Structure formats: C-alpha cells, structure tokens
Amino acid sequence: MNKINLDNVPNKSGIYIWKNSHDEIIYVGKATRLRQRMKQYFKGMLNSYKTATLVEEIVSFDYIITNSDKEALVLERNYIEQYFPKYNILLTDNKRYPYIKISLKDKLDIRLVYRVKSERDKNSEFFGPYPRGYGARKLVNLLLNITMYKKGLPYLTNDRKYWEDQYKIARNILTSGTSKLITDLSKRMIEASENLQYELAQDLKETIESLEFNKDKQLVEFVDNRNVDFVAFYEFEGYISIVMLFYRNGIMLSNKEFIVEITNSLEESTRQFLSQYYSTNVKPEEIISNIMVDSSIPIVVPQIGNNKKVLNLAITNASDNIKLKLEKFMRIEEQTIGAVNKLKELLKLKKIYHILMMDNSNTNNTLPVSVIVSYRNGIKQKKEYRKYNLQKTNRDADVEYMRQGIERYFSKETNAIPDLFIVDGGIAQVNEAKKILADKNINLIGLVKNDLHKTEAIIGLDGKRIEITDVFLLNFLSGMQVEVDRFAKFHHAGRRINKTLEGSLITIKGVGANTEKKLLSHFKTYSGIYNASLDELEKVVSPKVALKIFQLFEKTK
C-alpha cells in the first residue's frame, strides 16, 4: 500500500480502479480530478470503516481518462456491472415490481415484465413500477381486451393504422391519473354489462376496486403530472437508509426501501446507488432528493413548496425505526456475507467472493440437463446462471453428466472463473470434477446430503469430510442446494415438456406444418405454446384451432 505512487496520475476526469494482491478489481470510482480523489483514500479524508478496510487491500490501480463527467458516469457503471467489485454498492433487492410494457411493431403487444433492461427497445414504452396488490396483471388483461378484441372475439388485421390507434388508446389509459382511469373503466364496465360481456364487466369491476383501494392509501398527491421519483437519503452510523416514492401522473404508484453501507463518502455512495438502480429500472423525468450528486437524470433539491412536503415525507420514512431497519439489514448480511466468511475460514482460503454450484437432473436417464448457479458476496446472480442439455450416457450417470456440464461451462472463455466451485454430490463427483479442472487451479468442494436429503457435510479441498456445525453456514449452503436443485428441475421439466409436446401438436386437426411453424415463431418453444392462455393462442391462430390446442394441453397440466 505504501509503495503506491499517485503523483503521475493526471488531474483529469475519468474512473479509477483499485486492485488487490490477486490483481482483482475491488473498487471502481468516478472523479472529476483523478489524482486528487485517489490521494484522499490514503490521507484518511474518506472516513468510513469500509474505506479503511478497502485501503488495506489496495496493492495496485488503473485509471481511464474520459472526455467528460457524463462519459465517466457511464464507464463507471459498466465496470461495476461487469466486474462486481466487492467494495462497490451491489444492490440485493429481490422485490421486483412489475412494469406494463406496450410495444408496436407489426402489431400491438402488451405484457407484464419484471426486468426492464433486457426488455428495453426503441419500439417500447414502460409504465410503472406497480406495487403488489395493485392489480397490474388484471389491468394488462383489460388493455388486451380493449385493444385486441371486438365484441368478445380477437381482431386479426395487419392494418398498421388500426394498431397505431390501439396503441394510443392503451397509452392514454396508462398515462391518465387514477381518478380519470377509474372514471374511464367505470364507463367501459357499464358498456360491457349492456353488451352481455359479463366476464369482462367483472374484470373491470375488480380492477376499479383495486385502483380505488390504492387511491385511498395515497399519502400526498403530487400536483405535477410528470413522472417523478422522490429519493430520500438518511445517514446513520456508517449506513444510508433510502426511501424511494414513485409518482406517476401526480399519483404515488409505489415505494421502495434500501439500506446500503457507506463505502467512502455519503455523496459517492448515493451517486453510485442511483447509477446502479436506474441501470435496471425505468428512469423518471426528474429526481427530487435531499442530496445533490452527479447523475444522468436531472436532480432537484427543493427548499419550499409541495415538492419539499413530499420529500419530507420520504425523509421521515427513511429515518423511521432506523435501528430496527439496520438490525434487519445486519441479520441478512450475517446470513449471506457472514456465512461466506465462515466458509472461507472453514476451508482456510484467503477469499471466497464468487461461488458457482452445479447440479444435474434427468428422468430415468432421459433428457439429462446440467445447470450452474452463481453467487457473489453471498447473493444470487441470476444473469450468470447457466443451463445445458446433455448427451445421454450408459455409464455412471451422475458423474458423467457432471463432467459434461463442467466441460461445457469452462469451454466458454466469457464464463467467469469462480473463487470456489461446488458440486452437489459426494466424493465420486468431487474426484471426477477435480480431474476435469486439474489444469485450472480452481478450489473445489462437494456438498453431502443425509438420508432425508438435507445438507449435512462438506467434502473439503483435501477430499476429507467436514461436518457443518455453524447454523448460518448450514442454512446458506442448504439454500444454495435448494436453488440449484430448483433450477435444474425447472430446466429439465421444460425440456421434457418440449419433447412431449413436439409430437402432440400436429395430431390436432387443423394444425399442419405451417401452423406449427407460426406458433413456434411466436411462442419460441413448445413449452411456450403449452403454457399459453387461450387469449394468447387466439392472437396467433383462429379461435377454433386455439380452443383445440388449449383443451388438449389443459388435460396434461
């Protein structure tokens, strides 16, 4: 640490990258003046426990000069998303709220999505986030009924102008305030009832009731009809309590809460939080907050008026029961990061940040699959999960399928090399995995289950059995086993359904090769066709054929 010379670092805009003794990136930051900012770490000017721990690990650094602060913001976020540095803020929020996505390409498409980033394109708009219990799925079904059907039947046309008009109708409904939406849906409910469309009328009634319930819970009505997020930060004992209030068209649609640890300074941590959060969520037109930081979204810090009133409400919620919130956060950390540290001590390893775990699944040795789940700092990283269809074998199936899976994963250079690789199995699986990974210098262990299929021991790095006595570690490893088992069985079930349905579809009268091709083009897989609703099938084929497909597959569910 003392040998690091920062004198030759330019005082220009860019990002700085701290590395440890393993040449791993452990922190990425942005600075307007790189040299000045980097030297602050070693002069004790960034006062937090986590900063001191970070500085102890720093052995080397890199930096990249950018043309502007804006460019540095984007580059910083990209590096954090790619390398998951252990000292950067990594959000662990698993409570994904849904968005309604409307798209217009060849025709209108309306659906509920939970991952905005992977769904984002120039032909789509997103509305939300909607809270649980709001009735977002029912609202999607209503929009489909209103825009896709005429007199209860699907309207099939390639008329671009027609679909543009329907797009505007759906958009107008979603952008109207809650009061106007309730009024509009009430009129449609009466019309549906008069037209004897009782099922649609009932759906409209239930949606209206849901909207009215949420409207009654409204805390403060925001007079501005733009899409605005209020974000309040409250500092407490080295941590930040964060409350976000999402206002859409003047109504508070939903809210979220976070606790994050301060890495170096309050401003730096809040800036990185906003950058990371909005990289995977819809950006508002404006953020109203009590802290001003660099952001790709305009930020306003109000002093008076209604904005200040709403923000004060968010600050009150951020500070309310802060000790209890922090205790809950610490318990979660103990169950994740704490458990990983205990595993590190048990195995006598210098670090365990990135863990992969593998499992296989098959039915009577048919349609075998292998999957890998990924954890960083004790947290699931679902975008790093991998699944493979395997070749059937006549030798020891568990061992052979694990070999195939490992070879498939490590044959792709873009797949990350973990600090620890875990196989869900005993000594036979561990020994086979060690043979395959002999030239890769990867730490490898196995997990052993008892007769009740419960995790009870580890096959250690030396091949010896280690009993697990720590409750947090046992629960963490058991949770990993449940997750990898779930993922393996889910993938295998999908493959089995596809195989079963592949021969079933063309037995239906009216479904020939062209219809099958059309269905697969729309739903992507046989499993997608199998799980489609009658309404979804009717968008692709005639109502008569759709009903036959739906009834055939409904019998097998």
Residue 462: pLDDT over 60 = yes
The answer to whether 376 touches 503, Cβ cutoff 8 Å, is no
What pLDDT is stored for residue 94 in this prediction? 54
Residue 118: pLDDT over 60 = no
Mean pLDDT score, 323-338: 88
Residue 522: pLDDT over 70 = yes
Q: How confident is the model at residue 95 (pLDDT cuts 50, 70, 90)?
A: low
What pLDDT is stored for residue 132 in this prediction? 66
Dist CA 480 CA 488 (whole Å): 12
Residue 412: pLDDT over 60 = yes
Highest mean pLDDT among 197-201, 260-264, 310-314, 525-529: 310-314
Lowest-confidence range among 371-385, 396-410, 485-499?
485-499
Q: What is the pLDDT of residues 81-92, one digit of tens each?
A: 888 888 888 776
Residue with tokens 């979660």: 332
What pLDDT is stored for residue 249 in this prediction? 74
The answer to whether 204 touches 185, Cβ cutoff 8 Å, is yes
Dist CA 50 CA 27 (whole Å): 11
Q: How confident is the model at residue 346 (pLDDT cuts 50, 70, 90)?
A: very high
Dist CA 102 CA 126 (whole Å): 7
Mean pLDDT score, 342-365: 87
Q: What is the pLDDT of residues 141-153, one digit of tens each?
A: 878 888 887 766 7
- List, in sequence order, every residue forming a beta bridge with 154; answer none if it has no partner: 149
Mean pLDDT score, 120-129: 77
Q: What is the pLDDT of residues 264-292, one digit of tens each?
A: 788 999 999 999 899 888 899 999 999 99
pTM of the predicted model, to two decimals? 0.69
Q: What is the pLDDT of residues 161-171, one digit of tens each?
A: 999 999 998 88
Maximal CA-CA distance, the chain: 82
What pLDDT is stored for residue 241 in this prediction? 95
What pLDDT is stored for residue 365 in this prediction? 67
Q: What is the pLDDT of residues 5-14, one digit of tens each?
A: 899 999 999 9
Residue 353: pLDDT over 90 = no
Alpha-carbon distances of 71 from 75, 117, 125, 295, 400, rounded to whole Å: 6, 20, 25, 11, 48
Quick one: three-class SS letters along 14-55?
Answer: EEEEEECCCCCEEEEEEECCHHHHHHHHHHCCCCCHHHHHHH
Residue 96: pLDDT over 80 = no
Mean pLDDT of the residues in the chain: 83
What pLDDT is stored for residue 89 in this prediction? 82
Residue 53: pLDDT over 70 = yes
Mean pLDDT score, 429-445: 88
* Residue 43 DSSP class: G
What pLDDT is stored for residue 177 in this prediction? 63
Q: What is the pLDDT of residues 446-456, one digit of tens each?
A: 998 887 778 88
Q: What is the pLDDT of residues 468-480, one digit of tens each?
A: 989 999 999 999 9
Q: How confident is the model at residue 180 (pLDDT cuts 50, 70, 90)?
A: confident
Mean pLDDT score, 475-503: 78
What pLDDT is stored for residue 450 in this prediction? 81
What pLDDT is stored for residue 92 in this prediction? 60
Q: What is the pLDDT of residues 235-256, one digit of tens each?
A: 998 899 999 999 887 777 788 8
What pLDDT is stored for residue 297 in this prediction? 93
Alpha-carbon distances of 428 from 10, 418, 446, rounded to whole Å: 55, 21, 9
Lowest-confidence range among 85-94, 439-448, 493-502?
493-502
Q: Is the dihedral of CA 473, 474, 477, 483 positive or negative?
A: negative
Q: How confident is the model at residue 504 (pLDDT cuts 50, 70, 90)?
A: low
Highest mean pLDDT among 112-116, 348-352, 449-453: 348-352
Q: What percent of the chain has pLDDT over 90?
A: 28
Rg for the chain (alpha carbons), in Å? Answer: 27
Mean pLDDT score, 310-338: 89
Cis peptide before 302 (omega within 30 of 0): no
What pLDDT is stored for residue 438 in this prediction? 85
Residue 557: pLDDT over 50 = no
Residue with tokens 């970070």: 54
